[in-house]
């Protein structure tokens, strides 16, 4: 079966792209489209052409797997231009997503029809590139400057309804898409054809608009270059003629495509798609997950419950007494109220989310749930007690999960009847927002349980990473090493503020010390103290010294830094210098890049050990943990990717 085929509906030709899974524009598809243009232009019986796709979506874009290789002819801009200049008008019939090169293809058509649940967009910046086949130059002519800047520099797709409002498509179709497109094609002789986009004038914007947009995007991008380069393409589209703007866009695309940020972002793109499919699980069916329960309504428990509700699962929230149940429900209400405030949920949707939560103090309510996630205090005896109750009450096929971040899941599961259904599900706070889910099976966890954990991640829109059992699993183990290395730098005379600045400059939102001040130094301190009390040899950290002096972070008025009341800006602290015997006057001079390299190198080194121990299955999983759980800049690809690129 050819990837591009032509059929007839009377005097209308229907061109179908069939290149599973997402109709990406491989060389064969580009050639097939060009051949179709030539063949149909030569056929006097054809009055118009409908372009549609087989399978689950319209064209999802250029074939990302071709990006690492030399470009092969025909190039997409030539295909797009051939369709735009054809003797017959083409109509795009969009279902699923028309993204990147797929949307550029649709922009070459005279009309664009889309199903109501379809979306269109230019996500190129998320791959470290800009549109390379006229996306910026044509979109700005249809949607205007502001909307085009928003679409192209964020890369976020829009639904058909919004696309219609923006002028990106011509019609939203509720009925049969192909039928509607063919009907429009047949009706074309009665309509005035819209002018092809190259002949339309580009809108303009003043200098102030561009300066303001540049400032906004620079702040948001934190070192990522593609959004700014996309902005430059859009500006050029308003200031030059069509052909000059196209040449500028193409040159930018080719330059970025060959660069390190695009390479890193492609690595992440494929890593994210590989993570949910561990080889060992292929073919193992997941158990149905229709109802869930969360034990513990604190910050973590409420966040997990919110994530489950967002995925549409009814949730039972168990707490030890009525007051705690009420606090748990209040925590959940706060989460949904926050989503309403940020415009992510309507009032009605937030109410429905809460209505689907049943608070209870009685474990008997869990007799028929499919999944229970425990998120109580990090104490082995408390957790074991919870699972003993769950083991007695829940169905034998219910999945029982612990959200522990530091305890050994094998010890938590000890004594549980049918341990095959037990698993660790390590969420990151806030659990309804953070994308990472570490999935931690014990040696006794059954394949069906593991497969269900991956299925749950998909339902919740999380990035699942399987982790073996060790202290801190993958993420917190690397975090510990990262913090230790940052402390080593302080001991060697580097200024605390320089280390934080280096990591911000690298692309993190915060440096290691600012992050500890925000989250609180006491949690890790208590954990170390617990280990010391259990007789383990845990060396005293600088953070311990600060906590012992009452400096627990922002919540106690200061940690690694001082803070003025009501102000989160970190101020260098004389008290910290005194407590840690630091002399700011003799601080080591080092460039920010070498500080960051050393800290990222330590993360990669720990990652390599984790990999060699079999705790992580693949190096790209470690990168995903850092990106989705710890704020590692996505456009740097993760510590393992960085280490591999350095050699
Ligand atoms: C571009 O277009 C540049 C142009 O401007 C310029 C050109 C000159 N290529 O995500 P899923 C694979 S840049 C190759 O799980 P979903 C994916 O790896 C491109 N492969 O599906 C996976 O393979 P496997 C701009 C691709 O239903 C399978 O398809 N476009 C591509 O959850 C299923 O993927 C984008 O950035 C691709 N472009 O979501 C769109 N896309 O099964 C990227 C997917 O072997 N794609 N694959 O693991 C998406 O956003 C989603 O795939 C989509 C479907 C929403 C379409």
Residue 368 located in a structural domain: yes
Residue 271 located in a structural domain: no
Residue 273 located in a structural domain: no
CB atoms within 10 A of CB 505: 16
pLDDT of res. 192: 87
pLDDT of res. 87: 86
Residue 416 located in a structural domain: yes
450 and 485 in one domain? Answer: no
> Which residue's CA is the closest to the ligand 1 atom numbered 47?
22
> Which residue's CA is the closest to the ligand 1 atom numbered 5?
131
How does DSSP assign 140-206, residue by residue? HHHH-HHHHHHHHHH---EEHHHHHHHTS-SEEESS-HHHHHHHHHHHGGGSPPPPPGGGSPPP---
Please state the atom number of ligand 1 nearest to the C-alpha of residue 101.
2
Would you say the CB of residue 99 lies under 6 angstroms from ligand 1?
A: yes
Q: Which segments in the chain show pLDDT lower than 70?
A: 646-647
Among residues 258, 288, 314, the one where a domain terminates is: 258
Phi and psi torsions of 51, nearest 5°: -105, 120
441 and 539 in one domain? Answer: no
Quote the ligand 1 centre to 284 CA distance (angstroms): 25
Would you say the CB of residue 76 lies under 6 angstroms from ligand 1?
A: yes
Would you say the CB of residue 79 lies under 6 angstroms from ligand 1?
A: no
Residue 185 located in a structural domain: yes
Residue 591 located in a structural domain: yes
Q: Tell me, what CATH number does 234's domain have?
A: 3.90.226.10
197 and 299 in one domain? Answer: no
Mutate-to-test residue for ligand 1 from 17, 21, 455, highest number of ligand atoms within 8 A of CB: 21
Residue 267 located in a structural domain: no
> Which residue's CA is the closest to the ligand 1 atom numbered 10?
273
From 641, 612, 639, 644, select the one nearest 626 (Cα to Cα).
639
481 and 440 in one domain? Answer: no
485 and 374 in one domain? Answer: no
Would you say the CB of residue 104 lies under 6 angstroms from ligand 1?
A: yes
> Which residue's CA is the closest to the ligand 1 atom numbered 22?
273
562 and 447 in one domain? Answer: no
Spatial distance between the Cα atoms of 540 and 473, rounded to a whole number of angstroms: 22
Spatial distance between the Cα atoms of 185 and 86, rounded to a whole number of angstroms: 15
Mutate-to-test residue for ligand 1 from 22, 28, 120, highest number of ligand atoms within 8 A of CB: 22
pLDDT of res. 345: 94
Among residues 449, 466, 483, the one where a domain terminates is: 466
Would you say the CB of residue 132 lies under 6 angstroms from ligand 1?
A: yes
- Domain hosting residue 207, numbered range: 4-258
Spatial distance between the Cα atoms of 632 and 617, rounded to a whole number of angstroms: 20
Quote the ligand 1 centre to 97 CA distance (angstroms): 10
Phi and psi torsions of 56, nearest 5°: -80, -10
Would you say the CB of residue 57 lies under 6 angstroms from ligand 1?
A: yes
Q: How many domains does the chain have?
A: 3
Would you say the CB of residue 134 lies under 6 angstroms from ligand 1?
A: no
Would you say the CB of residue 131 lies under 6 angstroms from ligand 1?
A: yes
Spatial distance between the Cα atoms of 49 and 438, rounded to a whole number of angstroms: 49
Q: Tell me, what CATH number does 504's domain have?
A: 1.10.1040.50
Please state the atom number of ligand 1 nearest to the C-alpha of residue 56.
27
Among residues 423, 441, 466, the one where a domain terminates is: 466
397 and 348 in one domain? Answer: yes
Would you say the CB of residue 304 lies under 6 angstroms from ligand 1?
A: no
Quote the ligand 1 centre to 60 CA distance (angstroms): 5
Please state the atom number of ligand 1 nearest to the C-alpha of residue 104.
5
Buried b (16+ CB within 10 A) or exposed e, 422-447: bbbbbbbebbbebbbbbbbbbebbbe
559 and 459 in one domain? Answer: no
Would you say the CB of residue 249 lies under 6 angstroms from ligand 1?
A: no
Please state the atom number of ligand 1 nearest to the C-alpha of residue 126.
36
Q: Degrees (nearest 5) of the Cα angle 225, 229, 235?
A: 150
- Report, as residue numbers or ranges, the catalytic residues: 104, 124
Residue 588 located in a structural domain: yes
291 and 250 in one domain? Answer: no
Q: Provide the token pair at 556.
A: 């106690």
From 82, 113, 279, 126, select the one nearest 180 (Cα to Cα).
113
Quote the ligand 1 centre to 106 CA distance (angstroms): 17
Quote the ligand 1 centre to 456 CA distance (angstroms): 22
Quote the ligand 1 centre to 128 CA distance (angstroms): 14
Q: Tell me, what CATH number does 382's domain have?
A: 3.40.50.720
> Which residue's CA is the closest to the ligand 1 atom numbered 4?
101
Asked if omega into 74 is within 30° of 0 (cis), the reply is yes
174 and 321 in one domain? Answer: no
439 and 541 in one domain? Answer: no
Q: What is the number of helices (H) and of strands (E) in the chain?
A: 26, 17
Is residue 607 a contact partner of residue 619, using CB atoms and an 8 Å limit? Answer: yes
Would you say the CB of residue 638 lies under 6 angstroms from ligand 1?
A: no
Asked if omega into 21 is within 30° of 0 (cis), the reply is yes
> Which residue's CA is the closest to the ligand 1 atom numbered 15?
273
326 and 453 in one domain? Answer: yes
Would you say the CB of residue 61 lies under 6 angstroms from ligand 1?
A: yes
């Amino acid at each position: 079966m050819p990837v591009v085929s032509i059929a007839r509906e009377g005097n209308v030709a229907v061109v179908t792209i069939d290149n599973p899974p997402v109709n990406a524009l491989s060389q064969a598809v580009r050639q097939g489209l060009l051949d179709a243009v030539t063949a149909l232009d030569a056929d006097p019986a054809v009055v118009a052409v409908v372009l549609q796709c087989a399978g689950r979506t319209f064209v999802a874009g250029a074939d990302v797997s071709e990006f690492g290789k030399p470009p092969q002819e025909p190039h997409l801009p030539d295909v797009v231009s051939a369709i735009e200049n054809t003797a017959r008008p083409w109509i795009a019939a969009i279902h699923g997503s028309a993204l990147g090169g797929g949307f550029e293809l649709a922009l070459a058509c005279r009309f664009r029809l889309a199903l109501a649940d379809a979306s269109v967009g230019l996500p190129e910046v998320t791959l470290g590139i800009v549109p390379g086949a006229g996306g910026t130059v044509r979109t700005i002519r249809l949607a205007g400057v502001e909307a085009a800047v928003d679409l192209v520099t964020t890369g976020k797709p829009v639904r058909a309804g919004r696309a219609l409002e923006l002028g990106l498509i011509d019609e939203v179709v509720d009925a049969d898409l192909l039928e509607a497109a063919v009907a429009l094609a047949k009706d074309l002789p009665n309509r005035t054809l819209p002018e092809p986009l190259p002949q339309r004038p580009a809108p303009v914007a003043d200098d102030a608009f561009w300066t303001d947009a540049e400032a906004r995007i620079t702040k948001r991008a934190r070192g990522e270059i593609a959004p700014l380069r996309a902005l430059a393409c859009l500006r050029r589209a308003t200031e030059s003629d069509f052909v000059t703007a196209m040449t500028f866009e193409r040159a930018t695309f080719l330059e970025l495509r060959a660069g390190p940020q695009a390479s890193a972002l492609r690595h992440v793109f494929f890593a994210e798609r590989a993570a949910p499919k561990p080889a060992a699980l292929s073919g193992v069916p997941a158990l149905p997950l229709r109802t869930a329960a969360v034990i513990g309504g604190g910050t973590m428990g409420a966040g997990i419950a919110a994530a489950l509700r967002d995925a549409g699962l009814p949730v039972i929230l168990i707490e030890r007494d009525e007051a705690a149940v009420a606090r748990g429900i209040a925590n959940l209400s706060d989460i949904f109220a926050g989503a309403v405030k940020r415009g992510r949920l309507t009032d009605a949707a937030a109410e429905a989310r809460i209505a689907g939560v049943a608070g209870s103090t009685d474990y008997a309510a869990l007799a028929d749930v499919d999944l229970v996630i425990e998120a109580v205090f990090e104490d082995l005896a408390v957790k074991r007690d919870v699972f003993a109750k769950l083991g007695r009450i829940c169905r034998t096929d219910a999945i029982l999960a612990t959200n522990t971040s530091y305890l050994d899941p094998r010890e938590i599961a000890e004594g549980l009847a049918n341990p095959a259904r037990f698993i660790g599900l390590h969420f990151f706070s806030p659990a309804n927002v953070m994308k990472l889910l570490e999935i931690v099976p014990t040696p006794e966890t059954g394949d069906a349980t593991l497969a269900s954990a991956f299925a749950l991640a998909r339902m919740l829109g999380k990035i699942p990473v399987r982790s073996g059992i060790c202290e801190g699993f993958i993420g917190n183990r690397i975090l510990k090493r990262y913090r230790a290395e940052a402390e080593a730098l302080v001991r060697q005379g580097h200024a605390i503020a320089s280390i934080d600045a280096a990591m911000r400059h690298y692309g993190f939102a915060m440096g290691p010390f600012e992050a500890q001040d925000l989250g609180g130094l006491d949690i890790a301190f208590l954990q170390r103290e617990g280990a010391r009390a259990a007789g383990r040899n845990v060396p005293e950290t600088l953070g311990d010294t600060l906590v012992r002096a009452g400096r627990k972070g922002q919540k106690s008025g200061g940690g690694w830094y001082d803070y003025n009341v009501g102000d989160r800006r970190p101020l260098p602290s004389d008290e910290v210098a005194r407590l840690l015997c630091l002399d700011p006057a003799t601080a080591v001079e080092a460039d920010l890049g070498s500080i960051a390299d050393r800290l990222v190198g330590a993360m990669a080194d720990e990652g390599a050990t984790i990999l060699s121990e079999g705790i992580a299955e693949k190096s790209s999983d470690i990168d995903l943990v850092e990106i989705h759980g710890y704020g590692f800049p996505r456009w740097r690809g993760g510590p393992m990717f960085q280490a591999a690129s350095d050699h």
